[in-house]
Structure 1
Amino acid sequence: MRNVILVHGFWHGSWCWSPITARLAARGIPSVAVDLDGHGLGARAPRSRWSVPFDPQTYATEPSPVAGITASSAAATLIEQVRTIGGGRPCVVVAHSMSGPVVTLAAEREPGLFAHIQYVSAFAPVSGHATADYIGLPENAGDLVAPLLAADPAVVGALRIRTDDHAALRECFYGDVEPARAEAAIALLSVDGPMGIPGEAFPVTRARFGAVPHSYVMCTRDNAVRPELQRRLIRELDAVSAAPTKVFELDSSHSPFLSRPDELTDAIETVVLP
């Protein structure tokens, strides 16, 4: 049985996978959720987040304490996590959202540790462009992440979000999540996603990354990574991979681990037990 490693996206933590780990366990599938560098127990918030009274100008300019994290450094951490959890044997790795570039780079560097990558509404930069280049593409028009930003990423070194506008956060990330659960998730969000992750471009080769089997879970009601951009990412994956991308479609917001946990577990089980 392959171990499943679940990697969250920006501003979240390993906590968001708890509905999935429980369901995988019920099906006899071992899984571990890990924290992306700069998140979860590794999150560090700017001091101005907690200032009383709150000063939005300082919050918009204070350098991020996680600004030094890059896709390369986060991939190095993930490689060690995969190696440890799998005991050196290949694992199935599930990547949500902005963990996509980290997982992609890790698989390019150590393809033998990856039995399968399943992207869940995730960025998968395999064309040589930085992930940040995809965010402003026409295919991503209408995304609701940009209105959440409280600072210029070039100034603070992070994608820093406001956490006071719960309605905007729900619409962006949790549009079909039960309201009480969405509120609980919002309370757990960190505020800084290291800009060095989407800002780093890296090469991806057919011989290394392209040899790793992969699939993609499309979220067709996603307001953070728009469906047309997801389709473009799938096409680009196909261009560098030995086999076509297996695609699952969920009628879901950006957070199917909270809104569609049974269906997402089905998709994961399909690639663990083909």
Structure 2
Amino acid sequence: MTGNSSPVLLLHGFWFGSWCWSEVAGHVAGTGRAVLAVDMAGHGLRARWPACLSRRPFDPAALPVERSPVADVGVEQAGDLLVSQIRRLGGGRPVTVVAHSMGGPALTWAAQRAPELVAHAVYLAAFMPASGVPANDYSVLPENAETLVAPSLQGDPNVIGALRLDLASADPDYRRMLRRAFFDDIGEAEAEAAIGLMTPDSSTALGATGIELTRDAWGSVPRTYVTCARDRALCPPCQHRFIAEADAAYPENPTGVVALDSSHSPFLSMPSRVAEIIADLP
């Protein structure tokens, strides 16, 4: 075993669940390290689906307007849950935490509140907002203009309190857009299976609050950012902006950067490589 030998906690992003890390976790476990993939607040086993999706006959007019049952899940709830998950895995020892996409703000919250518990913070194509800046603000920046997530959303997020995907849509163009947004470098069958495991709603509240960061907390935790060059969910220019802002704020603790030639979900397209990155952390 090389690099950091701390336990590894794997946190997914919006619409995903702990299931997406199964291949990576297997590779990491093979190195002899303790590893745990967890569900973020409002996702996986903690997800709640809008009632209109199970009501029959299905009313398509309800999909873009029904208030989300996870609308109240904010970054504080997600971050506090993550801290408890870190404590459980590490038993008080520091843990390496790998966060994907909108799992990034939860990791940032945890590292700011309990920096002694985070041995290394790894942001995998993840939101890593600057101090006090809500993660949602980055979604609408020019650096993220080529995202395919925005045109995939159903309804007004301000009305339903969530970013909602129509995962059951039979529209071939819409399904193709979902695959391009999240799974552009895996086969169609595997991508469709992954879409079948996703949950439709992710709370806008989770990215609505800026987290005030300090030099002796989040700013002191070793961090690595893994960029994904073919990402059409969180676009590469936005990923590089996160890195630049963090390094400008904390130049004494620069961000390690690893580049992947992948789309938004390298835990599915190149799980062994993701596991290698984790194993090689300093």
Residue in 1 aligned with 2:20? Answer: 16
CA–CA separation in structure 2 for the residues paired with 1:14 and 1:145: 21
Matched, 1:140 2:144: yes
The TM-score, its normalising length taken from structure 1, stands at 0.97
CA–CA separation in structure 2 for the residues paired with 1:261 and 1:202: 31
SS where residue 215 of structure 1 aligns? strand
Select between 48-57 and 156-165 the one with higher mean Cα deviation.
48-57
Matched, 1:26 2:35: no
User: Match for 1:269 among 265, 276, 279?
Assistant: 279
Residue in 2 aligned with 1:62? Answer: 66
Residue in 1 aligned with 2:41? Answer: 37
User: Match for 1:224 among 197, 216, 233?
Assistant: 233
Aligned pairs (5 A) from 1:170-209: 170-209=179-218
Query: What is the CA distance between 1:260 and its match in structure 2?
Result: 1.2
- Aligned AA (2:154): A
CA–CA separation in structure 1 for the residues paired with 2:90 and 2:109: 18
Matched, 1:125 2:133: no
CA–CA separation in structure 2 for the residues paired with 1:110 and 1:240: 20
What stretches of structure 2 of length at least 5 have no aligned partner? Answer: none
Deviations 1:15-65 (A, max 9, x none): 000010011111222210000000000010000112333222211111111
Residue in 2 aligned with 1:252? Answer: 262
What stretches of structure 1 of length at least 5 have no aligned partner? Answer: none
Matched, 1:77 2:81: yes
- Aligned AA (2:9): I
Matched, 1:155 2:126: no
Deviations 1:213-238 (A, max 9, x none): 00010000000000000000011121
The TM-score, its normalising length taken from structure 2, stands at 0.94
Query: What is the CA distance between 1:207 and its match in structure 2?
Result: 1.6
CA–CA separation in structure 2 for the residues paired with 1:213 and 1:186: 33
- Aligned AA (1:80): S
Q: What is the aligned residue count?
A: 272
CA–CA separation in structure 2 for the residues paired with 1:56 and 1:148: 15
Deviations 1:63-115 (A, max 9, x none): 11111110011101111110111001110000000000111011101111100
Whether the aligned pair in 1 keeps the contact of 2:131 and 2:210 (CA below 8 Å) is no
CA–CA separation in structure 2 for the residues paired with 1:43 and 1:219: 27
The alignment-based identity, stated in percent, is 47
CA–CA separation in structure 2 for the residues paired with 1:239 and 1:90: 26
CA–CA separation in structure 1 for the residues paired with 2:243 and 2:126: 10
